[in-house]
Amino acid sequence: MELSFYVHIPYCIKRCGYCDFNTYTPNELQDGATLEIVSNDYIDAVLKELEAAPLDEVPTIFFGGGTPSLLPADDLGRVIAGIKSRNGLTPDCEITLEANPDSVTAQKLKSYIEVGFNRISFGMQSAKPHVLAALDRTHNPENVKKAVDMARAAGFKSISVDLIYGTPGESLDDWRDTVTAALSLDIDHISAYALIVETGTKLAAQIKRGDLTMPDDDLMADMYLLVDQLCEAKGFSWYELSNWSKPGHECRHNIAYWENKNWWGLGPGAHSHIDGKRFWNIKHPTAYKQRLFEQISPVQAVEDLTNEQIEVESIMLGIRMRQGLSLARLSNVQIESLRKFSLDDYVNMGEKQVVLTPKGRLIADRIVREITF
């Protein structure tokens, strides 16, 4: 057996207007901690939580957030070293760092390589200043190229950028410019996600007031088909609904999620999945640290998945992948439902597999509902 680790770094300098993630700025923390103070005892708490995890060898580690690149390499390296000495890493272990383009320097990137990172994912989101402004992003779009070039020079083997489409005020031409700019970078991987407006965010309030207007569904569909077309033309093949990569540069950590493998989430609010059991930690970093320093488990809740839940999730996740679903695992009724979608060019039905077409990927959720409920 193998065990992947997700390490949550829940700190940001500023909260983006669309963000609903479990992140905190120094001003939002009740203890008023600065990032300098935070990084030491926070990593101590994460290493205490590590003691409860299984001892299986580790093929992937992913540091997400928040903004992991705000913390010094030595602090994050303590977690990598702790996992390595306790569990052991596979020879090709993929170790990813999420980073804000403005938060890295050449020396800092070199330090991340030295402590064990080999893959980095930059939050680019858009190349258009007015789109970044609507998203309340702080980075200068020109810094993305600088950051990517510095990361390559430092020795990162895989470099990814995250993009968001469907921002209020974003046109199809804006999106084309963003994807074209991303593909001109020295990268191996692109993730592109449709903007989801979460209740309680600054962006949701702006839309509710009428200050901003969301694009319609047709434009969102055109944006998805455009990024797929542009990526494929540049040798980036889709391997999951929202992800494209050059050969051999797929994100193996995320594939572990989609294949329902075992992973352990370290940090406040982090989710874990071990042998059909899901559990997640309390959300606030102060409460999380306090529990661990008092030798109390940080787990907030546990869910034992039924066989039916596991089967539905494996279909829901599997159909998002390029290799598609094995027909052998589907019932005759489910296969017949898929044949209807085949007639409208939403899926390709092979002898053994069913795979979504680009058009079918636009309605993946609907297809899953049809064949699982």
Residue 206 has pLDDT above 80, yes or no: no
Q: Specify the pLDDT at position 372.
A: 84
Q: Specify the pLDDT at position 217.
A: 85
- pLDDT-derived band at 31 (thresholds 50, 70, 90) equals low
Q: Which domains, from first to last, does the chain contain? A: 4-258 (3.20.20.70), 321-372 (no CATH)
Q: Specify the pLDDT at position 3.
A: 98
Rg (CA), the chain: 21
Write the pLDDT tens digit of every residue in 340-352. Answer: 999 889 999 988 9
Which residue bears the tokens 């596979």? 90
- pLDDT-derived band at 296 (thresholds 50, 70, 90) equals very high
- Quote the DSSP letter at residue 188: S
Residue 208 sits at φ, ψ, to 5 deg, of -60, -40
Q: What percent of the chain has pLDDT over 90?
A: 70
Residue 95 has pLDDT above 90, yes or no: yes
Locate all alpha helices (DSSP H) within 56-213, ordered by sequence: 73-86, 106-115, 129-135, 142-154, 172-183, 202-209
Q: Specify the pLDDT at position 126.
A: 95
- The arithmetic mean of pLDDT across residues 55-60, rounded, is 98
Residue 193 sits at φ, ψ, to 5 deg, of -120, 140
- The arithmetic mean of pLDDT across residues 204-214, rounded, is 64
Residue 125 sits at φ, ψ, to 5 deg, of 65, -55
Reference 304, options 270, 263, 275, 266; nearest CA is: 275
The residues, any chain, with a CB within 8 Å of residue 79's CB and separated by 6 or more, are: 7, 43, 46, 47, 50, 61, 63, 266
Write the pLDDT tens digit of every residue in 79-91. Answer: 999 999 999 999 9
Residue 35 has pLDDT above 80, yes or no: no
Higher pLDDT, 194 or 265: 265
Q: Specify the pLDDT at position 227.
A: 98
Lowest mean pLDDT among 30-34, 277-281, 289-293: 30-34
Q: Specify the pLDDT at position 137.
A: 75
Write the pLDDT tens digit of every residue in 218-247. Answer: 999 999 999 999 999 999 999 999 999 999
Q: Specify the pLDDT at position 216.
A: 76
